[in-house]
Structure 1
């Protein structure tokens, strides 16, 4: 793993189920606007979601997201939780995350690249070269 990478591996709980789901959350300073989450759906299969770091940061404070990824912070019997929902043409899923864990991950990303300093890390020339190389 590169020195500029933040990674959190953990089990999360399916909505209304006790079945754990293994997930890997990662953030790279050289891709400062994005967070990648991979979910293990079988021993050999992982599903990957990429979404804006700003969405997670906003979702820790208030409901956020109107597209394929949404976050809703709430409390349940004293537990601080974060509802994480994803949706695609193939279906949708919801998980409850421990909000303190999500906040710790978000803070690690902010330590790596503070808000409003993303463009200092982002190589727009490389991105343009990648998308125009057809």
Structure 2
């Protein structure tokens, strides 16, 4: 399987401090066709990342979606412009950020153009080999 990736640089704004933008990257790889990754960046260094279902991001464009670590929903007052992404770290409090809806919608369009819904394929043999490679001393 190809390792084609789609990567978007995004600017996010903390809901509790919207005047302080945060830099992040939204990434999609056909190697893991069901998932997207949101990584916060400090310069060129990744500080924290969340991996979640691409369906959550797609559905969250229109209505609240997701459960657990990541939820996505249209902004209550400015839904045509912004999404509210809620991140729940394993330890700590939920953290909410705003994202530009248009940019996320374009990202979602690109990932579904690359791997249409229903065409997701995972190389099971490669996954099993990777698991055994991690546990073999």
Shorter-chain TM-score: what band?
0.7 to 0.9
CA RMSD of aligned residues (A): 2.2
Residues 21 and 125 of structure 1, relative CA distance in 2, 3 Å threshold: same
Distance 1:34 1:4 in 2: 14
2:109 to 107, 110, 114: 107
Distance 2:110 2:98 in 1: 20
Residues 79 and 16 of structure 1, relative CA distance in 2, 3 Å threshold: farther
Unaligned 5+ segments in structure 1 are: none
In the other structure, the counterpart of 2:32 is 31
Q: Which consecutive segments of 4 or more residues in structure 1 shift more than 6 A?
A: none
- Aligned pairs, how many? 131
Distance 2:7 2:129 in 1: 28
Relative to the length of structure 2, the TM-score reads 0.84
Relative to the length of structure 1, the TM-score reads 0.86
Distance 1:131 1:3 in 2: 18
Residue-by-residue CA offset, 1:97-127 (whole Å, 9 max, x unaligned):
11111100000101111110002xx211111
* More strand by percentage: 1
